[in-house]
């Protein structure tokens, strides 16, 4: 069964054999025995090497079994008063910069002997890692529901357009300074700092713009919100920003001249938001240190989402 899981990761008998330091014949023999045991074909070879529906079912249940075994080991360790010595956390890099320094400092006051492995990436990657038992917890934005997940919903996070007063004036939009609102069509007239097409949030924004029949040409493309806001403060363009990053906006404004302050602007008909949740595996054991880290993360997120723009 371990050989089978390695083959599913490598998507190749030969690569799995190299990784396991055995012959291809050995790996093939194990796969054949599994197929005989379950009386089902687990892989198709043509047109490409991939799992059959029966193979997917076996993989899903084997991964769940490994999570349950690890949960039992952790619970037995805590019953013996042996703490877990590691937690593995997934968080998007832009939010990690904002949230983790304070969380880690507070966490280590109670669990200085526990190491923290931080993985940075997108929600889809974290979903896969959690299912494979490679993560204990991740911060999710708009994750899909799955029976294997335990989801702690925190809050809907509104998205705002952030821009300087001077940029609005330069593009003849002085009236926006009074109403703090703008129409969708005006977005085609100001330079925008956008995320790449791989960004889930950017794809939602692009879909909304298409519905409004508005075409924009991004002036700058960058995926880090902190960098977007710093560039916006230099009048390089306006950017869309989740509410959590109002802290960053306030920090930037505290070091800027008044006419260069970043302000939030509402867009007529624009009501996009992201759903912020903390995800763990339903079958995994929630150790004392993991529960503490999750509580600190929840508190930090709620505090950030309730930070007003100054």
H-helix or E-strand spanning residue 107: helix 93-110
Contact 277, 152 (CB under 8 A): yes
Give the pLDDT score at 171: 87
pTM over 0.75: no
Residues of each domain in the chain carrying CATH 3.40.190.290 = 158-272
Give the pLDDT score at 82: 57
- How far apart (Å, rounded) are the C-alpha atoms in residues 122 and 40? 34
Q: Could you report the per-residue pLDDT of 28-51, keeping only the tens digit for each?
A: 888 888 888 888 888 888 888 888
- How far apart (Å, rounded) are the C-alpha atoms in residues 99 and 245? 10
The pair of structure tokens assigned to 33 is 């025995």
| Residue 246, φ and ψ in degrees, nearest 5 | -60, -30
- How far apart (Å, rounded) are the C-alpha atoms in residues 170 and 176? 12
Residues of each domain in the chain carrying CATH 3.40.190.10 = 85-155+274-305
Interior/surface letters 248-258, b for 16+ CB within 10 angstroms, e for the rest: bbeebbeeeee
Residues of each domain in the chain carrying CATH 1.10.10.10 = 2-68
Strand partners, 43: 51
Helical segments of 132-273, H only: 165-170, 176-179, 200-211, 225-233, 246-253
Q: How many helices and strands (H and E) does the chain possess?
A: 12, 12
Mean pLDDT, residues 171-179 taken together: 84
* Cβ-Cβ contacts under 8 Å for 13 (sequence gap 6 or more): 7, 24, 27, 28, 31, 49
Q: Exposed, middle or buried by CB within 10 Å (0-12, 13-18, 19+), for 144?
A: exposed
Q: Could you report the per-residue pLDDT of 118-163, keeping only the tens digit for each?
A: 998 888 889 988 988 889 999 998 887 788 898 999 989 999 999 9
Give the class (CATH, top level) of 158-272: alpha beta
3-state DSSP: the chain helix, strand, coil percent, rounded to 5?
A: 50, 20, 30
Helical segments of 52-199, H only: 53-79, 93-110, 123-131, 165-170, 176-179
Mean pLDDT, residues 182-193 taken together: 89
- Measure Cα distances from 238 to 13, 228, 263, 296 in Å: 50, 8, 10, 32
CATH number listed for the domain at residues 85-155+274-305? 3.40.190.10
Give the class (CATH, top level) of 2-68: mainly alpha
């Amino acid at each position: 069964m371990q050989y089978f899981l390695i083959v599913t990761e490598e998507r190749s008998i030969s690569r799995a054999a190299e990784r396991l330091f055995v012959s291809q014949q050995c790996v093939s023999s194990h796969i054949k025995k599994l197929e005989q045991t379950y009386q089902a074909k687990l892989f198709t070879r043509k047109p490409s090497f991939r799992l059959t529906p029966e193979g997917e079912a076996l993989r899903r249940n084997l991964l769940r079994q490994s999570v349950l075994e690890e949960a039992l080991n952790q619970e037995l360790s805590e019953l013996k008063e042996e703490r877990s010595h590691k937690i593995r956390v997934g968080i998007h890099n832009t939010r990690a910069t904002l949230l983790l320094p304070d969380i880690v400092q507070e966490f280590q006051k109670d669990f200085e002997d526990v190491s923290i492995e931080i993985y940075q990436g997108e929600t889809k990657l974290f979903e896969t890692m959690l299912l494979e038992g490679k993560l204990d917890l991740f911060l999710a934005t708009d994750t899909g529901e799955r029976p294997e997940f335990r989801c702690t919903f925190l809050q809907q996070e509104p998205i705002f357009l952030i821009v300087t007063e001077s940029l609005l004036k330069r593009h003849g939009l002085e009236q926006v300074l009074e109403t703090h609102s703008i129409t969708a069509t005006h977005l085609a007239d100001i330079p925008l700092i956008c995320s790449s097409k791989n960004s889930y949030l950017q794809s939602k924004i692009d879909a909304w713009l298409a519905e409004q029949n508005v075409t924009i040409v991004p002036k700058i493309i960058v995926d880090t919100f902190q960098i977007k806001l710093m560039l916006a403060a230099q009048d390089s363009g306006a950017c869309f920003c989740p509410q959590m990053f109002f802290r960053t906006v306030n920090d930037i404004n505290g070091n800027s001249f008044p006419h260069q302050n970043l302000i939030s602007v509402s867009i007529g008909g624009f009501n996009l938001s992201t759903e912020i949740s903390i995800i763990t595996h339903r079958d995994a054991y929630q150790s004392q240190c993991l529960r503490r880290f999750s509580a600190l993360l929840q508190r930090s997120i709620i505090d950030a989402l309730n930070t007003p723009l100054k």
